A and B are shown apart, each in its own frame.
Chain A
Amino acid sequence: MLKRLSVLLIVLALVAAACGDDDAETTETSAATTETTAAGGDTAQTGDGVLATVQARGVLKCGVSGSATAFSEQQPDGSATGFDADYCRYIAAAVLGDSEAVEFTFLTAAERFTAVQTGAVDILIRNTTWTQSRDTDVGMDFAPTTYYDGQQVMAREGDGFSGGSQITDLEGATVCTNAGTTTEKNITELTTQLGVDITLNTFEDFNQVMDQYIAGACDAVTTDGSGLVGRKATQQTAGENWVIFPAFPISKEPLGPVTGQNDSQWLDIAKWAVFSSILFDEHGVTSANAAGRAGEEGEVGRLLGGDGELQTSMGLSADAWLNAVSQVGNYDEMFTRNLVPVGISREGSANASYLDGGLIYAPPAR
């Protein structure tokens, strides 16, 4: 009896000791890592920030959708192509020097926030709408908007719809969308306000939604306008004409990258990745001519790592944005490569540069 008692006490003591020591150990190792990687930098954060973790790991873990046409589409070899996937590569090139050092994680709308909250992915670029509740309640921080979108509905012309149809024409319809999205909330709110009676079916995966719509089990689908345009371009059944309405979207859907909460250094990196891509577009710096323009004076030179550059004080290497734009391209190149083929253009939309009357604007790099 006594022997058993003493063994138990020793086990408990060991457990308590192990738990108590954990905190001290991790802070020591991560402080050492930050010191070695932030050469010359003095604003490197002590403790385990995401930048330190990514640099130590050598790979950027990026959360994307996998089923968002033109934004992130899953490829057979496990990678992703699309506008959001390209931004993952842009950030990987900036932080790690190699745009292919990305590990894509394909997340449903239900899983994405938990993945960011718990740090399972370093950054989430998954056409996520920036809303007040997500910024505060859910525990994430938003980088600047890369695509200004709006929610619309798609139905068949054969059922009596046209581009000028209104939400009130959906009376009695079965509308399908993604579960756990702002889309769901918006359509519910709007139909309650207008007194329109619809049956809302919400699915985990948008591919499932489209299958139901094509089979006729759903009368209409709703999601961001860009998603609808993409699906119409790739999946419209021969002989049918799918119309997208209303002409003016029913909600604002500013889409952009998302990071975990309270990591200012990492959020700054995400922010200035987006801003640098926009500034490169404003100055006409492309993947082809970036290397040649590295010695220029002014904003372009600073962004490309010349005199007065600010990348090192952020914890990155001086040529971070140079690597990113040479390997992936600027905002316009990424947009043209991915979104123009499905029929989305920048001209006349909110995604044109501010110089052309749109909303794509970046603060100065000074």
Chain B
Amino acid sequence: MTIQIDEPRERHQRVPPWRNVTFLKWAAQVVFLIGILAVFWILGSQAGDNLDERGISVSFDFLADPPGIALAEGIDVRPDTGARALYTGIVNMLRVTVAGIFAATILGIIIGIARLSSNWIVNKVATVYIEIVRNIPLLVQIIAWGVIITTVPGNLELDSGPIGCALAEPGCEAWFVVSNKGASFAWLFPADGFWQWLTFLMIGVGASIWVYRRRMRLKEDRGDETYALTWGTLTVVVFAAVGWFVHPIMGFLGYLWGWIADLFDALPVWTIQTVLALLAVFFAGMWIKGFLDDRRTPAGLAKLTDDDIFRIGSAAAAGLAGVVLFFSFAGISDWILNSGRDLFSVMDSKFEFLEGGSPLAMSRPSIAQPGNFPNYGATGLTMSKLFFPVFIGVTIYTAAFIAEVVRGGILAISKGQSEAGLALGLRRNQLLRFIILPQAFRIILPPMGNQYLNLAKNTSLGIAVAYPEVVAVGQTLYNQTGATIPVVILWMLFYVSVSLFISSIVNWYNRRVALVER
């Protein structure tokens, strides 16, 4: 009697496709992808046909043509090309964003802690500030600041500012001038020897970190107070002070920068292309290796899910795409070579061996009248009547939100923590520094990043006061050339990039301070 053993095994191994789970999963995903692409293609071609019918262009030619407009302020007030005009607008926007983020953070933290103060007046002032500022739309606030700066201070005169001394006297310069043309302050600017001094200072910072660590280790070994922080700070201060006079010595680095600049000049483009392509392959390979290592158990490699295969495939594809990209677009490598050479040439010019004056120079506001009208001169830190309302507006508005975020973070720490700290005999400021703030910091960080993103996007309201940031310049451009859709596309790409950049920095920091869970 022959026993049929093979049949059951065959039946298990060959499942028809319409019942095979893996096949169906892949097929469904492929069909869905085709469906989505088809919908987009239909919508896109419909839009393209409609645009053609109305004669609306979607070309990016305006970026290379001279726009024929002048901007109120910026790095290039008479741009040669549309692209340069947009670039000036971008720089203007970033100026407000960066300055605003710093100012709003500082102001917000102060107000947030003030709102938690036990001093009744301080507490109430902070509360009133937050409630008023938060509830008025930002556009209204910016327009209000614009109206204030143009009507309240009064006209700029040649012989005196409303706040300042009579400039007609020789040797007298004002510290602070406000007028309806803007505000100008005295400020420290980097002068001749600044970069050399900075290098010396960085060495000082490195030394102070070493000193600090040594002192902390000594403290832990010996058990008594070694004032590690004081010693560390002292080291930096000493280096800064000595460096003020001694920094010309650092000028020898100028030779190094010059040599690197010549190196960049001499390298042919294909070397950079090869390096970049190898880097792309290397990083893809390292990532795949790390990924597989994560899934390696003592019993060997774990079974890879579809998701894992997709990720590995994507990483490999990205590496390959990188290779193709760098070899087919020589422009990228060319740009890297040129920028590198320019950067190191500039650094070379800033480092002169045994030369260089004072690193910082105080620049005080001045008033000049080249023609019929007085205006701010080239010295001092000047905020024009266009920059001022946008900067103050977004700073004050975002500071109110940051204050609430900080307050929320501190209040979120359970009362038991402060009671335990007090029971241990810590003073109130030690309690704040060692127990409350480190824990609160973790909670505050993600909403803070959110507020930074809001600030970056809120700067686009500058158009209401004619500040020439990227939205205002873009609008002028598309008005003069008719290229509305390309400008809107560029706007969206720019804002997405800026927002992703800010949020990636915040996320990286967040991951670093996050609680490591099992």
A165 to chain B: closest CB distance in Å?
9
Among B53-61, B292-300, B348-356, which stretch is in contact with chain A? B53-61
Q: Given the complex of chains A and B, what is the CA–CA distance between A219 and B482 in angstroms?
A: 31
Closest residue on chain B to residue A9 by CB atoms: B31
What are the residues of chain A within 8 A of B55 when measuring CB–CB? 117, 139, 261-262
Instruction: Tell whether, in the assembled complex, residue B482 and residue A117 are in contact, meaning their CB atoms are under 8 Å apart.
Output: yes
9-residue interface stretch from B34-42, B187-195, B217-225, B426-434: B34-42
B414 at the interface (CB under 8 A from A): no
CB distance from B181 to the nearest CB of A (A): 7
- The answer to whether B46 has its CB under 8 Å from any CB of chain A is yes
Chain A 175-211 against B: per-residue CB contact (8 Å), 1 yes, 0 no?
A: 0100111001101110110000111111110001001
A179 touches B472 (CB 8 A): yes
A-B residue pair count with CB separations less than 8 angstroms: 150
Assembly CA distance A228 to B462 (angstroms) = 26
Give the contacting residue for B479; candidates A8, A180, A198, A261; CB below 8 A: A180
Is residue B420 contacting chain A, with contact meaning CB distance below 8 A? Answer: no
B279 at the interface (CB under 8 A from A): no
Q: What residue of chain A has the Cβ atom nearest to residue B67's Cβ?
A: A185
Known: A179-B466, A215-B151, A216-B155. A173 touches B372 (CB 8 A): yes
User: What is the CA–CA distance of A200 and B79 in the complex, to the nearest angstrom?
Assistant: 13
Q: Which residue of B lies closest to A12 (CB)?
A: B35
Q: From the candidates A118, A119, A201, name the one contacting B466 in the complex (CB within 8 A).
A: A201
Query: Could you say which residues of chain B place their CB within 8 Å of the CB of A9?
Result: 31
Knowing A110-B479, A113-B479, the reply to whether A170 touches B38 (Cβ < 8 A) is no
Our pick among A4, A15, A139, A187 for the contact of B39 (Cβ within 8 Å) is A15
B31 → A minimal CB distance (Å): 7
A110 to B32, CA, bound (A): 41
Q: Counting chain A CB atoms within 10 Å of each CB, which of B72, B464, B479 scores highest?
A: B479
What's the Cα separation between A9 and B181 when bound, in Å?
A: 64
Flag whether A237 is at the interface (Cβ < 8 A): no
Determine if A348 is an interface residue (Cβ-Cβ < 8 Å): no
Instruction: Find out whether the CB atom of A16 lies under 8 angstroms from the CB atom of B38.
Output: yes
Give chain B residues whose Cβ lies under 8 Å from the Cβ of A1.
24-25, 28
Cβ B482 vs Cβ A139 within 8 A = yes
Determine whether the beta carbon of B42 is less than 8 Å from that of A16. yes
A139 B386 Cβ-Cβ under 8 A: no
Contact residues in A for B370 (Cβ distance below 8 Å): 171-172, 197
- Assess the B28–A4 pair: CB atoms within 8 A: yes
B385 within 8 Å of A by Cβ?
yes
Determine the chain A residues whose CB is within 8 A of the CB of B72 once the complex forms: 199-202
Contact A118-B42, Cβ < 8 Å, known A180-B475, A185-B480, A202-B72? no
Pair A159/B372 contact, Cβ less than 8 Å: yes
CB distance from B315 to the nearest CB of A (A): 29
- Asked if A188 and B32 make an inter-chain contact with CB atoms under 8 angstroms apart, the answer reads no
| Assembled-state Cα–Cα distance A138/B57 (Å) | 8
Interface residue A169 (Cβ < 8 Å from any Cβ of B): yes
> Which B residue sits closest to A199, measured CB to CB?
B72
A contact residues around B475 at 8 Å (CB): 110, 179-180
8 A Cβ contacts from A80-117 to B: 109-110, 113-114, 117
Q: Is the CB of B373 within 8 A of A5?
A: no
Whether A185 lies near B54 (C-beta < 8 A) is no
Question: A212 at the A/B interface (Cβ < 8 Å)?
Answer: yes
Given A5-B31, A159-B372, verify A260-B54 contact (CB < 8 Å): yes
B128 within 8 A of A: no
Q: Mark B11-29, 1 if CB is under 8 A from A, else 0.
A: 0000000100000110110
Please give, as numbers and ranges, the residues of chain A lying within 8 Å of B385 by CB-CB distance. 217
Nearest CB of chain B from residue A134's CB, rounded to whole Å: 8
| Complex interface: chain A residues within 8 A of B371 (CB) | 169-173, 197
Task: Please name the residue on chain B nearest to A198 by beta carbon.
Answer: B70
B327, chain A: closest CB distance, angstroms: 37
Report yes or no: A172 in contact with B32, Cβ–Cβ below 8 A.
Answer: no
Which residue of B is nearest A114, CB measured? B484
- Tell me whether A117 and B56 are in contact (CB under 8 A): yes
Q: Decide: A133 near B481, CB < 8 A? Known: A2-B18, A212-B150, A262-B55.
A: yes
Residues A202 and B476 in contact in the complex (CB < 8 Å), given A184-B69, A217-B150: yes
B233 on the interface (CB 8 Å rule)?
no
Q: Does A265 contact B (CB under 8 A)?
A: no
With an 8 A cutoff between CB atoms, is B101 at the interface? Answer: no
Which residues of B140-197 are within 8 A (CB) of A?
149-151, 154-155, 180-181
- Check A137 for interface membership: any CB of B closer than 8 A: yes
Interface assignment of A164: CB less than 8 Å from any CB of chain B: no
- Kindly state whether residue B68 has any CB partner on chain A within 8 Å: yes
CA A130 to CA B181, docked complex, whole Å: 35
Q: Which B-chain residue is minimally distant from A260 (CB atoms)?
A: B54
Partner of A119, one of B54, B69, B180: B54
**Interface positions of B from 479 to 501, Cβ below 8 Å from A:** 479-482, 484
- Closest chain B residue to A171 by CB distance? B371
Task: Please report the C-alpha to C-alpha distance between residue A169 and residue B55 in the assembled complex, in whole angstroms.
Answer: 42
Q: How far is the CA of A282 from the CA of B72 in the complex (A)?
A: 47
- List 7 tightest A-B contacts by C-beta distance, closest first: A171-B371, A180-B479, A138-B482, A172-B371, A139-B55, A217-B150, A172-B370
Please list 25 pairs of residues, one from A and one from B, whose beta carbons are closer than 8 Å in the complex, sorted by A's number: A12-B35, A16-B38, A110-B479, A114-B484, A117-B55, A133-B482, A160-B372, A169-B372, A172-B371, A179-B466, A179-B479, A188-B70, A192-B70, A199-B375, A200-B71, A201-B386, A202-B72, A202-B472, A211-B150, A215-B151, A216-B180, A217-B150, A219-B373, A261-B54, A261-B55
